[in-house]
Structure 1
Amino acid sequence: YFDRRGIPHIKPPMLSFKERSKELINGAYDKFKSTVPVVGIFLENAPTFVVLDLDLVKRILIDDFQSFSDGLNENENYSPDNAKWQAILRRLTPAFWSVKMAHIFPSVMKAAECLRGKSSGLLPSEYVTIDVKALFIRYAASALLSCVFGIELDDASDPAMALRLRIKDLLEQE
């Protein structure tokens, strides 16, 4: 598939689909970073493009967004014809500049590591019900506070809990 299109790629293993998506994407990134803007991989036997160049990611998500947004949900709020979405997109565009992303990424990763630490303690040997929504609200609040305000709050902190409750209210609105 990728050979015919002249796109560098990682050849899929014969009859083995044991490698996880994350490992495939990381392998493609490590092998081709700083050499090509796009690389091809096969995820579950489907050809998939991995965009490695940050400027190309910005171009796809912002400049060429209209080329990728039509389809199943074209009547939703994020349709390119929706004026509200266009206004939001104009305000969000500066947030995806590479310099800002480089500063935000460590904060998001730190919040993700905290989430992993908290969630690993929730998995005993017996089957239990885990409130995944609450877990992700905790992650979103931690990442948001860290990225936007530069504040790192403990789980027991009242402002963090108030923010989590507000995020929960927003998520439960339909």
Structure 2
Amino acid sequence: MSVVVLTLCVTIAALLYYLSVRKFSYWRNKNVPHLKPLPLLGNYGEYILMKKYVGHVTQEMCRIFSKEPYFGAFYGTEPTLVIQDPEIIKLVFTKDFYYFHSREIAKYTPNEVTTQNLFFTQGDKWKVVRQNLTPLFTSAKMKNMFYLIGKCGHTLEKLLDEETAMSGVVDAKSLMIRYTMDCIGSCAFGIDTGTMQQNPEKNPFVQMGDIIFSTSKLMGFKLVFRAIWPKIFYSLGLKYFPTDIDKFFTSLLMGVFEQRGHKPTARHDFVDLLLIVS
């Protein structure tokens, strides 16, 4: 029995090792400069183990290949091209952008409502969504929303005065979360969230914001797991945000639509723009 178990463990370990290194010859075969990757971790081991921010890991590699227009890396087990040359970057963001719009997580968007947006869409669906949304973000339409952000800014100033009058110490992170939620609520949903009132602990928007902007180890692990191995992440039935987040904002948006009779108003917020398009 012990021999069978040992054989099974060795077989599984060998299979996992093979799967984790089978793409590691990708950049070598294409004669692209790259660093030697580690099994399973690739070149982003410190990020995967949550020791360094992903940008810092990439920056360190950029310094090693400072004279190269681009270089190869391995994001976990997947080959990744890092471009440094400004002219190539310009092509990626303009003329050739159609070929670079997708992200690894894009094919798994049906698994999570929060990822069903332009940033995580691919292929022809991305093109259609982009064509529909582009007219909503013209300079004129964005300018019409400035007054909403201005109101949120004035509320923030008032809150800062009150907070500093009571104590010389201000929780900047909490304050910015509340301000961000207030701006999103006003511009996107057309409602006053009340997040910048005193004693906001029981405010549902503040509670949702605490979850969304959480920096806990669990959220960090889920962020890395989903980014590096999205197929495994969603195959296990995991989600980055709890379903309560999806239900809360879906219910909120549907309520705003019904309150406005599915017709645009004079607020010129994002809900109005969506109603105009629909």
Q: Under a length normalisation based on structure 1, what TM-score does the superposition of the two structures give?
A: 0.47
Higher helix share: 2
Q: Which has the larger radius of gyration?
A: 2
Higher relative CO (Cα under 8 Å, sequence separation at least 6) belongs to 2
